[in-house]
Chain A
Amino acid sequence: MTVLILTCEQDVTADMVVARLDGTGVPVVRLDPADLPGGVALSGEFVHGVFRGHLSAGGRLVTMSGLRSVWVRRPGVPATRVAEPSAWLTEESAQALYGMLRSTGARWMNHPDAARQARHKPWQLHLAQRCGLPVPATLITTFPQAARDFAERFPDLVVKPVSGAHPQEPPRAVPTSRVAPETDFSAVAFGPTLLQRRVAKRADIRLTCVGDRFFAARKAVAKGADPSEVDVRFATSAEPWQPVETPPRVAASVHDYLQEAQLSYGAFDFAEDADGIWWFLECNQAGQFGFVEIETEQPIARAVADWLAAPLPDTAPHNGHVPMESVTCE
């Protein structure tokens, strides 16, 4: 049984898992949907009540029925490397590839339906609240007056993109940023705006969850750090990421979150305040983990490989999601 990894060639984080799988003798096929059609080919037939499908890439051929798991890591958009790309060919190729993969009994990390839902930040906040995780007061609005009222109630605010996407043309980054007092909120009318009470944090927490295995890492806010630097991704801090225990109540809530979201993998971001409370910020359903493993030596790639290589359960649910029975914090 083969592990299928959908990702781009330059994804060295996927390499960490491929190398681990190679070491254990588990067959792997790695491909980028951007190369379909061309470097990636597929065929499937639905005859006499039976589906039979094949995929090939890089000289490897795998039957769809021989897939034990599919890891959707950093896949390119289907059919974008053909000589004459088009939205139509992309849709055709995406439907063919993902439609056939959905027809297999393979387990998914993460299933496309779960992934799509999990990317919506407003839904993340709602689910986190329901699961008992502390969520900073948040407003998403296009009403300038609502923003002004919110800023009166919560004077110390940050702004961040609703989607987490970065604008192109020209390429720009939109870090989570502090909103100055007396800010003019008129431009809120020109796009949904996410405002959130700033957590006066003493550390950032990255909790990487692989099935039922949890890996928490903590990066302290450096003494004398610039208070305007609130986004750890763009901060210049030299503080290291260090392994940390996950509080049992947080672990229980995160477990519930993953169950409800039907996620096999999730990378949670929290802000730890002066009282040690972990405030939920977001859950990245395909978040990076290599930088954490490199600094903390937590065996996350091994956990991903183990999850992908696990045998199929006898009766897999239709979406390949495997229920988690217990949580292990590492």
Chain B
Amino acid sequence: MRPFALNYARPAPQLEVSVPYAYDSRLQLNVLPDGRLAAHDYAVLRELGATTSTAGSKTHFDD
């Protein structure tokens, strides 16, 4: 009784990865331990895949 499309399913990529930044509610931004803004550190964002088209797909399906 498995839908046809699910024959092509694979384990989901790791979605709950540990990130090196934390949300600062005063700034309304995510901040690295050294105080820099996470959004300005493209190397970190690339490494985590935090801005890719599958990021957040667990809760949102607008990739």
A286 to B40: give the CA distance in the assembly, Å. 22
Query: B38, B46, B59 — which one has the most chain A CB atoms within 10 A of its CB?
Result: B59
A167 to B45: give the CA distance in the assembly, Å. 26
A: interface residue count bin: 35 or more
Partner of B37, one of A19, A29, A58, A192: A19
Chain B residues in 8 Å Cβ range of A30: 28
Q: A16-B39, A171-B12, A172-B12 are in contact. Are A290 and B5 (CB under 8 A)?
A: no
The secondary structure that dominates the B interface is: loop
Whether A166 lies near B58 (C-beta < 8 A) is: yes
- Does A288 belong to the interface (CB within 8 Å)? yes
Q: Residues of B within 8 Å of A, CB-based: how many? A: 44
- Does A88 belong to the interface (CB within 8 Å)? no
Q: A18-B29, A190-B1, A294-B42 are in contact. Are A167 and B9 (CB under 8 A)?
A: yes
- Does A161 belong to the interface (CB within 8 Å)? yes
Chain B residues in 8 Å Cβ range of A10: 19, 23, 30, 50
Which of A128-136, A173-181, A302-310 lies at the interface with chain B? A173-181
A42 to B5: give the CA distance in the assembly, Å. 42
A-B pairs, 6 with minimum CB distance: A290-B51, A191-B3, A15-B39, A171-B12, A286-B62, A9-B23
Interface residues of A (CB under 8 A from B): 8-13, 15-16, 18-19, 22, 28-30, 58-59, 74, 76-77, 119, 147, 159-161, 163-168, 170-175, 177, 185, 187-188, 190-194, 206, 233-234, 267, 284-291, 293-294
Interface residues of B (CB under 8 A from A): 1-13, 15, 19, 21, 23, 25-26, 28-30, 37-40, 42, 45-46, 49-63
